[in-house]
């Protein structure tokens, strides 16, 4: 090879690395008021969990003032494959804030009002019924009573529609929930964690004709409400849901690695899901995880095409991409001079009084409220503390979490892929403590 | 009594106040103000009944045309679950219901009137790649002993259990997937349903879903009226009259021809006439 050829090859290689590096710029933690030394506690925490085989690996990103000060990949993404900064994760319920932003964009465009009945756009939601259990000993087990009012778009955004997840029979068993879910089962409704072989419209139209668990506005019940919003976006925008999100959110925010179905060339970047007993036994999940009404299909993430587009669960993404989405929210609707939402709309989304006296306790604790697609910390007197009143965040089934602290101008993204759900809450909270305690100004 | 003259003013004030309160809440939609007339609850069973279908499907067209011919308006409320339709029929004592697998007991049937509205040709089907030699069907369910049958929710599966057949319940779409993935051995469905479902959901498998039996069974489909509903018996008679009128006028055949090939239409009408006029 001649010198000139070596020069050209070197230039090419340099240009590849430069292009990759340009995706994000790191800042010294001290330059944004964070302590490098204290962030080492976070390294130690994750390394310990990886060494003890509680998790296979993770990617953590912390940014302050829009600048990435900590971006660390640890452990394995898959068998024989190390975790990388650009590893792609099943973010599952972290899809919900994206769907909620899409709805709010249509709201700003005057295409819908939050007070609109869902039935205005999806007629199957007209004249809904609510299950009322009858006292024990009664001839009837239950009655279907007319809903006191229509389910509104606001109800869907705030999980006050009375629509459930089937999996909730495992979280909060009660006869009424079991009755509602039995209708869901008979009607072929699924939680969407395994991608059904039908369109979102097919499923939502059946769901609309099934009874509710509670009268709209009377309970905070985490469920399929955001899947309904995904279909509502299709009806209102006239676009397929994934096309809308791709062109209106992912492309403007340059979220290049966020997808409903993964392109073939990125398949190798998906992290495996790992089953952990949190005692040192860690196995790669190869089959669907079925536990009562909970059905998870981590391997569906490798499907490169399909019909179902879940507004509550389908998106795959990276730490950097989701940081861009979170930073847009922290910036009150804009990023890199691209405005997706107005300041007023983001303020509306993160207001704490949408669910009145209810608390969003499913992933957090009391003292957490739910806005329009996001949980918001309301006080500092309960078990889960993310550092400040006004912090907003949400999480995903395979152990992913994002947190935005408007007061400290900070975004924290923590991504891993660990099952079963629930055992990782402690680690999540420790990551938040480490991130917040690195603040040094 | 003096206060009486103020009553309209108080009423008006009350109405104004209540609408001011409502103005901040969900809006009243036209659908909330419409009281369904002669409501019949039907189980979603495509292509016969379905909200996504043209005119909501063949059976809905038949019922509406028959009742219109005797000057009765009707509303069909289509639900995705047989259990809900059964609930409305037996617990809420609604006027009528329509659906094949509602699983009614002998006691239930005493308070119900069954009006046949059409016939379907049904058959047992299997997935040929999984059972290349087919089944040794001699006309009895016991011929299928040891195999697994994909049943519908609320279907009466007692005859299958008696014949030693394993039962796997589910919705038709899920049952077809299980049939194709060899999780179950056979299912039962109308020939029209088979063609419609395979066209829509499994077009590549059309040649692989094969009838077990050579001769399909004719199965009547009913609208089931409730004797406990004040209009149940009258409307049952009216529907039967209406069916006779639409058959006589050729309207019934016109509806069927939208969904079926010509030679099946006359056969169905003949069989329905035999049922209506024993």
pLDDT digits (tens, 9 = 90+) for A334-391: 999 999 999 999 999 999 999 999 999 888 889 999 999 999 999 999 999 999 999 9
Does residue A106 share a domain with residue A85? no
> What is the structure's pLDDT at B274?
86
B-interface mutation test, from A115, A122, A158, A188, most B Cβ less than 10 A away:
A188
> What is the structure's pLDDT at A12?
55
The reply to whether A2 falls in a domain is no
Mean pLDDT value across chain A:
94
A124 has a chain B CB within 8 A of its CB:
yes
Nearest CA of chain B to the CA of A188: how many Å? 7
| Band of pLDDT at residue B158, cut at 50, 70 and 90 | very high
CA triplet A271, A272, A278: central angle to 5 degrees? 110
Does residue A159 share a domain with residue A70? no
> What is the structure's pLDDT at B146?
95
A440 has a chain B CB within 8 A of its CB:
no
| Band of pLDDT at residue B51, cut at 50, 70 and 90 | confident
A198 has a chain B CB within 8 A of its CB:
yes
Chain B CA closest to residue A113: B26
> What is the structure's pLDDT at A7?
62
Contacts of A123 in chain B (CB under 8 A): 31
B92 has a chain A CB within 8 A of its CB:
yes
pLDDT in tens, A298-340: 999 999 999 999 999 999 999 999 999 999 999 999 999 999 9
Residue in A149, A186, A216 closest to B83 by CB:
A186
Does residue A348 share a domain with residue A216? no
Nearest CA of chain A to the CA of B30: how many Å? 10
Q: At residue B3, does pLDDT exceed 80?
A: no
The residue count of chain A comes to: 441
Query: Of A240, A270, A285, at which residue does a domain stop?
Result: A240
Which domain covers residue A178, as residue numbers?
A: 99-240
For chain A positions 151-170, those within 8 Å of chain B (CB to CB) are 152
A437 has a chain B CB within 8 A of its CB:
no
Residue in A126, A150, A210 closest to B80 by CB:
A210
Helix (H, G, I), strand (E, B) or coil at A434: helix
Query: Of A190, A219, A240, at which residue does a domain stop?
Result: A240
| Band of pLDDT at residue A8, cut at 50, 70 and 90 | low
B-interface mutation test, from A134, A186, A211, most B Cβ less than 10 A away:
A186
Q: At residue B163, does pLDDT exceed 70?
A: yes
Helix (H, G, I), strand (E, B) or coil at B28: coil
Higher per-residue pLDDT: A103 or B8 = A103
Q: At residue A407, does pLDDT exceed 90?
A: yes
Q: Are A95 and A423 in contact (CB under 8 A)?
A: no
Does residue A219 share a domain with residue A249? no
B-interface mutation test, from A122, A190, A209, A288, most B Cβ less than 10 A away:
A209
Give this complex's ipTM: 0.83
Contact B26 A115 (CB under 8 A): yes
The reply to whether A166 falls in a domain is yes
Residue A340 exposed, middle or buried by CB count within 10 Å (0-12, 13-18, 19+): buried
Contacts of A149 in chain B (CB under 8 A): 25-26
A150 has a chain B CB within 8 A of its CB:
yes
Strands (E), B164-278: 166-170, 186-190, 209-211, 217-226
The reply to whether A392 falls in a domain is yes
- Closest CA relative to residue A75, chosen from A399, A403, A314: A399
What values do phi and psi take at A57, rounded to 5? Answer: 180, 175
A201 has a chain B CB within 8 A of its CB:
no
- The pLDDT > 70 percentage for chain B reads 86
Residue environment code for B220-239, b if the CB has 16+ CB neighbours within 10 A, otherwise e: ebbbbbbeebeebeebbebb
Contact B81 A197 (CB under 8 A): no
| Band of pLDDT at residue B157, cut at 50, 70 and 90 | very high
- Look at A24-28, A56-60, B21-25, B215-219 and tell me which has the smallest mean pLDDT: B21-25
Contacts of A117 in chain B (CB under 8 A): 26-27, 29
Q: Are B208 and B176 in contact (CB under 8 A)?
A: no
Contact B44 A206 (CB under 8 A): yes
pLDDT in tens, A110-147: 999 999 999 999 999 999 999 999 999 998 899 999 99
Tokens linked to A125: 């939601």
> What is the structure's pLDDT at A16?
47
| Band of pLDDT at residue A22, cut at 50, 70 and 90 | low
Residue in A143, A187, A216 closest to B80 by CB:
A187
Does residue A139 share a domain with residue A34? no
Tokens linked to A8: 């050209």
Contact A126 B32 (CB under 8 A): yes
> What is the structure's pLDDT at A6?
67
When computed from its CA atoms, the radius of gyration of chain B, rounded to whole angstroms, is 23
Distance of CA A4 to the CA centre of its chain: 50
Contact B173 A150 (CB under 8 A): no
- Average pLDDT rounded to a whole number, residues A79-107: 98
> What is the structure's pLDDT at B20?
38
The reply to whether A22 falls in a domain is no
Chain A CA closest to residue B176: A197
> What is the structure's pLDDT at A96?
98
Q: What share of chain B is helix, strand, coil (3-state, %, to 5)?
A: 45, 20, 30
- Average pLDDT rounded to a whole number, residues B10-38: 51
Q: At residue B35, does pLDDT exceed 50?
A: yes
Does residue A278 share a domain with residue A171? no
Mean pLDDT value across chain B:
87
Q: At residue B42, does pLDDT exceed 50?
A: yes
Question: At the fourth CATH level, which superfamily is domain B121-217?
Answer: Periplasmic binding protein-like II (3.40.190.10)
- Look at A11-25, A91-105, B142-156 and tell me which has the smallest mean pLDDT: A11-25
Query: Of A240, A255, A279, at which residue does a domain stop?
Result: A240
Domain with CATH 3.40.190.10 in chain B: 33-119+220-276, 121-217
Does residue A208 share a domain with residue A136? yes
Does residue A271 share a domain with residue A141? no
When computed from its CA atoms, the radius of gyration of chain A, rounded to whole angstroms, is 22
Residue in B26, B84, B177 closest to A183 by CB:
B84
- Average pLDDT rounded to a whole number, residues A96-101: 98
> What is the structure's pLDDT at B71?
95
Residue B140 exposed, middle or buried by CB count within 10 Å (0-12, 13-18, 19+): exposed
pLDDT in tens, B235-264: 999 999 999 999 999 999 999 998 887 667
Q: Are A220 and A342 in contact (CB under 8 A)?
A: no
A205 has a chain B CB within 8 A of its CB:
yes
Contact B81 A143 (CB under 8 A): no
The reply to whether A4 falls in a domain is no
- Domain CATH for A172: 3.40.710.10
A116 has a chain B CB within 8 A of its CB:
yes
Contacts of A183 in chain B (CB under 8 A): 81, 83-84
Does residue A367 share a domain with residue A261? yes
> What is the structure's pLDDT at B15?
46
- Closest CA relative to residue A222, chosen from A170, A168, A174, A169: A168
Does residue A42 share a domain with residue A129? no
- Closest CA relative to residue A232, chosen from A212, A211, A204, A260: A204
Does residue A111 share a domain with residue A49? no
pLDDT in tens, A393-402: 999 999 999 9
Beta bridge partners of A400: A396, A415
A208 has a chain B CB within 8 A of its CB:
no
Does residue A113 share a domain with residue A177? yes
Q: At residue B19, does pLDDT exceed 50?
A: no
Please state the domain count of chain A.
2
CATH architecture observed for domain B33-119+220-276 = 3-Layer(aba) Sandwich (3.40)
- Please tell me the distance from the alpha carbon of residue A147 to that of residue A130, in angstroms, as a whole number: 6
> What is the structure's pLDDT at B141?
92
């Amino acid at each position: 090879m001649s010198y000139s050829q070596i020069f050209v090859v070197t230039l090419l290689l340099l240009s590849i690395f430069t292009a990759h590096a340009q995706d994000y710029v790191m800042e010294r933690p001290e330059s944004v008021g964070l302590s490098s030394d204290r962030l080492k506690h976070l390294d130690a925490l994750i390394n310990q969990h990886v060494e003890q085989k509680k998790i296979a690996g993770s990617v953590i990103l912390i940014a302050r003032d829009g600048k990435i000060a900590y971006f660390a990949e640890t452990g394995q993404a898959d068998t024989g494959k190390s975790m990388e900064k650009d590893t792609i994760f099943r973010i599952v319920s972290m899809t919900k804030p994206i769907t909620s932003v899409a709805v709010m964009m249509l709201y700003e465009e005057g295409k819908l009002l939050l007070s609109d009945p869902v039935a205005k756009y999806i007629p199957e939601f007209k004249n809904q019924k609510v299950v009322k259990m009858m006292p024990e000993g009664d001839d009837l087990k239950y009655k279907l009573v007319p809903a006191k009012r229509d389910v509104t778009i606001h109800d869907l955004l705030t999980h006050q529609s009375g629509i459930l997840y089937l999996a909730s029979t495992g979280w909060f068993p009660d006869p009424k929930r079991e009755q509602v879910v039995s209708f869901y089962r008979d009607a072929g409704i699924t939680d969407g964690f395994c991608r059904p072989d039908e369109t979102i419209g097919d499923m939502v139209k059946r769901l609309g004709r099934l009874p509710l668990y509670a009268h709209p506005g009377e309970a905070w019940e985490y469920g399929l409400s955001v899947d309904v919003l995904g279909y509502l976006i299709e009806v209102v925008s006239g676009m397929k849901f994934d096309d809308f999100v791709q062109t209106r959110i992912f492309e403007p925010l340059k979220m290049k690695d966020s997808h409903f179905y993964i392109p073939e060339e990125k398949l190798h970047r998906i992290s495996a899901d790992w089953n952990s007993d949190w005692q040192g036994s860690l196995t790669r999940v190869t089959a669907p995880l079925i536990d009562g009404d909970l059905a998870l299909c981590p391997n569906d993430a490798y499907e490169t095409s399909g019909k179902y587009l879940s507004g509550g669960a389908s998106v795959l993404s990276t730490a950097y991409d989701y940081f861009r989405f979170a930073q847009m929210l922290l910036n009150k609707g804009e990023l890199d001079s691209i405005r997706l939402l107005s300041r007023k709309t983001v303020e509306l989304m993160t207001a704490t009084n949408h669910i009145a006296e209810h608390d969003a306790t499913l992933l957090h604790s009391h003292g957490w409220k739910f806005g329009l697609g996001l949980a918001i910390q309301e006080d500092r007197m309960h078990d889960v503390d993310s550092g400040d009143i006004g912090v907003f965040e949400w999480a995903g089934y395979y152990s992913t979490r994002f947190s935005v602290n408007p007061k400290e101008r900070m975004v924290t993204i923590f991504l891993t892929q660990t099952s079963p759900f629930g055992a990782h809450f402690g680690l999540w909270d420790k990551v938040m403590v480490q991130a917040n305690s690195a603040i040094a100004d | 009594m003096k206060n009486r003259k103020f009553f309209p003013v108080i009423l008006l004030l009350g109405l104004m106040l209540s609408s001011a309160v409502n103005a901040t809440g969900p809006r009243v939609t036209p659908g909330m103000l419409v009281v369904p007339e002669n409501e019949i609850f039907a189980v979603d069973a495509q292509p016969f009944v379905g909200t996504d279908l043209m005119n909501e499907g063949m059976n809905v067209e038949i019922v509406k045309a028959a009742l219109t011919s005797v000057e009765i308006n009707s509303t069909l409320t289509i639900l995705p679950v047989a259990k809900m339709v059964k609930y409305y029929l037996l617990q809420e004592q609604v006027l009528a219901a329509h659906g094949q697998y509602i699983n009614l007991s002998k006691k239930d049937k005493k308070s119900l009137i069954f009006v046949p509205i059409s016939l379907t040709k049904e058959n047992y089907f299997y997935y040929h790649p999984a059972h290349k030699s087919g089944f040794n069907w001699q006309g009895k369910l016991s011929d299928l002993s040891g195999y697994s049958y994909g049943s519908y929710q609320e279907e009466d599966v007692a005859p299958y259990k008696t014949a030693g057949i394993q039962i796997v319940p589910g919705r038709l779409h899920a049952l077809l997937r299980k049939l194709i993935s060899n999780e179950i051995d056979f299912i039962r469905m109308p020939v029209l349903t088979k063609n419609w479902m395979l066209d829509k959901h499994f077009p590549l498998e059309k040649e692989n879903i094969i009838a077990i039996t050579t001769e399909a069974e004719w199965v009547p489909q009913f609208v089931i009226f409730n004797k406990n509903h004040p209009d149940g018996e009258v409307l049952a008679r009216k529907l039967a009259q209406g069916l006779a009128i639409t058959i006589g006028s050729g309207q019934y055949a016109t509806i069927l021809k939208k969904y079926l090939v010509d030679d099946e239409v006359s056969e169905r009408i003949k069989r329905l006439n035999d049922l209506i006029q024993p």
